[in-house]
Amino acid sequence: MSRDVCVHTWPCSYYLELEKRWVPGKLSLSSLTLKFMADKTGDILVSFPLSSITEIKKESSHFIFSSITILEKDHVKHWFSSLQPGRNVVFHIIEHFWRELLLSQSGASVEASSSPMTKGKELTGLMACSQKRLEDAARVLHHQGEQLDSIVSSLDKMESDLDVADRLLTELEAPSWWPFSSKFWKMPSDTKPKGGSSMANSRALGKEGIVIRVPAIIFQRTESHVKPGSLTILVSGLEIHDSNSLLIHRFEKGDVDDVKVHTHYEVSIRQRFTGKPDIAFRLISAKMPEVIPILEMQFSKKIELLEDTLMLRSPRTPSPAEKDYSVLRAASGLMDCARHQESSGSQEDSSLQLQIREPLTSDEDTQELRQILRKLKGLALDAQTELERQDEALDGIATAVDRTTVTIDKQNRRMKKLT
Helix 191-208 / helix 119-173 crossing angle, nearest 10 deg: 160
What pLDDT is attached to residue 217?
92
How far CA 94 is from CA of 30, 277, 285, in Å, comes to 9, 30, 11
What pLDDT is attached to residue 25?
94
The rounded distance, in Å, linking the Cα atoms of 155 and 161 is 10
The rounded distance, in Å, linking the Cα atoms of 221 and 90 is 17
The rounded distance, in Å, linking the Cα atoms of 193 and 235 is 27
Low-confidence ranges of the chain (pLDDT < 70): 1-4, 61-65, 105-119, 175-208, 307-361
SS3 assignment, position 75: coil
Strands 21-30, 258-263: pairing kind: unpaired
Q: In what order do the strands lie in the sheet with 44-49?
A: 44-49, 33-38, 21-30, 6-16, 77-81, 67-72, 53-59
How open is the CA angle 143-146-149, to the nearest 5 degrees?
Answer: 155
What pLDDT is attached to residue 309?
56
Q: By the 8 A CB rule, do 365 and 331 touch?
A: no
What pLDDT is attached to residue 192?
45
What pLDDT is attached to residue 311?
55
How far CA 9 is from CA of 26, 63, 264, 302, in Å, comes to 6, 25, 15, 28
- Residue 58, by phi and psi: left (phi above 0), alpha (psi -120 to 50) or beta? beta
What pLDDT is attached to residue 207?
45
